Chains A and B, each alone.
Chain A
Amino acid sequence: MANALITVPKTAKRGEVIEIKTLVSHTMETGYRRTELGVPIPRDIARLFTCTYNGVEVFSAELHPAISANPYISFFTVATESGTIAFHWRGDNGFAVSSSATITVT
């Protein structure tokens, strides 16, 4: 259904601060717009983004209508160990997207 784009370094030194960039495909319909005939377009947004590092949550964000279409969020985390960094988005109308990346920590 929807796609997510993730940028995570493939390798990192232990303790290094790495930047993670995420983008998910979503219209983020604000609920404030109307059609040409004046009918309000119902709100349909992604509400929650979470990032887990080997199962432990390291970052989360609550999204509001002011976030642009195709929400982009970048943030940082410490490369603690090799493993999987997983990303989850949840939203209106059952919107749910998951993605993950693997990282090798030396």
Chain B
Amino acid sequence: MKRPRNRRAFLASAAGLAAAASLPAGVHAQATVNMLRGTEKDMLAAIARVTGSKPVQKGRVKLEVPPLVDNGNAVAISVAVDSPMTEPNHVKEIHIFSERNPEPVILSMKLGPRAGRAAAATRVRLADTQTLVAIAAMSDGTFWSGSAQTVVTIAACLEDL
């Protein structure tokens, strides 16, 4: 997203920079960046809210994220869960979490036996190089997870700071 540049806007932002520079070196910038970055702890807390702190087993969930992302503003991801999708045994919900975005939850989907196949795809914003986690809630009450790592060169969210 290109921001419009004109002389007046440039002068205004230059004045802002001068004000920021009078703060102790680095403190201001560091605080701004931390505010917009989640941590693994935030993500685990968000996962616990979804699972009710029940144990999550690894497997059955396949999360696909490109290993190297040029532009974090639109990253195509897909998730697929190994399930027969029948009335007695199906996937009820799929949640996708981010470790380093300002908010840990990316997408929460509800599906059921009528889905036929427990799979979905979307496009997301990624604020940093990070690990994404997908959690599937099964009809038998168990939770399964899959994860994927990605390297992001141009992050989303920060372009206009």
Task: Please report A residues at the B interface, Cβ cutoff 8 Å.
Answer: 17-18, 30, 32-38, 53, 56, 58-69, 71-78, 80
Contact = CB atoms under 8 A, between A and B. Distances in A.
A32 B114 contact: no
Contact of A72 (B13, B123, B125): B123
A65 B125 contact: yes
A72 B106 CA distance: 13
A75 B119 contact: yes
B121 A74 contact: yes
A73 B121 contact: yes
30 contacts: A17-B116, A30-B102, A30-B125, A32-B157, A33-B161, A36-B13, A56-B114, A58-B114, A59-B110, A59-B115, A60-B109, A61-B120, A62-B108, A65-B103, A65-B125, A66-B105, A66-B126, A67-B106, A68-B123, A72-B121, A72-B122, A73-B121, A74-B120, A75-B115, A76-B116, A76-B117, A76-B119, A77-B116, A78-B114, A78-B115
* Chain A interface SS verdict (over half): strand
A75 B161 CA distance: 35
B29 interface: no
Contacts of B105: 64, 66
A37 B11 CA distance: 10
A67 B123 contact: yes
B36 interface: yes
